[in-house]
Amino acid sequence: MAIIVDNDTRLVVQGLTGSEGRFHGLRNRSYGTNVVAGVTPGKAGQDVEGIPIYNTVADAVEREGANASLIFVPARFAADAIFEAVDAGVQTVICITEHVPVHQMLAAYTYFRTKGVTMIGPNCPGVLSPGKANVGIIPAEIFSEGAVGLVSRSGTLTYQIGHELTQLGLGNSTIVGIGGDPVVGSSFIDVLAKFQDDPQTELIVMVGEIGGDEEEKAAAFITEHVTKPVLSYIAGFSAPPGKTMGHAGAIISGSSGTAQGKKEALEARGIEVGTTPTEVAQLVVQRLK
């Protein structure tokens, strides 16, 4: 099995006619993802290399059976695109767009959480279930299918750890990039719970970074609800206090949100924390081989 996206995913790409949406939507299809439609208002009746374009997500759901949406629209339209997908009955929404205004994401978050929709992003690389489906911008060719669930706030660190696992003869059940904004659709806890329930996933790797307290919350959740082994990596040990490093959510206030503080919180709960992505991959091998 896998989580969030799999062989049953029927994907509509909101913004498929744009340059980024087209490039990645076609890459997703080439990987084997069932991309059934695109949506661009005013362009219904057109197609992108055989993928039909509709004016609304509701049309794509009705005519093509779309059950997941990938959002590649400008930031000022992204929240509206989330609302539209949810109202159309899509059960999984993955938003790649960055710079979505926080107040708009707060409104969207309040709405889709009441509808039982799984939302990933914004400002994220997407979700990949190797051998099944790729929804987003993750370079699927460097990953292989296996038993390691990987959830991360960072895209590039996810790629590095996953690639190193592949080189060491291990693979992933699903890779989830939750995004680095202050407000995202799914937290570490949301994804950890899905991995806990997934029969394919035998071990979970959580990649965090400075800022906020999501990793500390996840540590408490793991202790109480996760029976599978969990390993972690925290990026940002050299980040100076008060600076935003990379993601909008990666800001330290005083001693709160530091990499060292997160490491200590995780280790206090018995969760081993690697000092480099390479060490994390090696720790996974030790646990599984």
Contact criterion met (CB below 8 Å) for 142 and 167:
no
Closest CA to 97 of 118, 116, 115, 80: 80
Let me know how long the chain is: 289
Closest CA to 180 of 145, 146, 148, 215: 215
Q: Which residues on adjacent β-strands are paired with residue 13?
A: 38, 70
Instruction: Give residue for tokens 């035998």.
Output: 202
Which structure tokens are listed for 180?
């680095």
State the pairing for strand pair 47-48/51-54.
antiparallel
Q: Is 24 a catalytic residue?
A: no
**Active-site residue among 24, 99, 225, 247?**
247
Strand residue runs (E) in 40-144: 47-48, 51-54, 68-71, 92-95, 118-120, 126-129, 133-136
Q: 53 φ, ψ to 5°?
A: -105, 135
The residues annotated with a catalytic role in the active site are 247
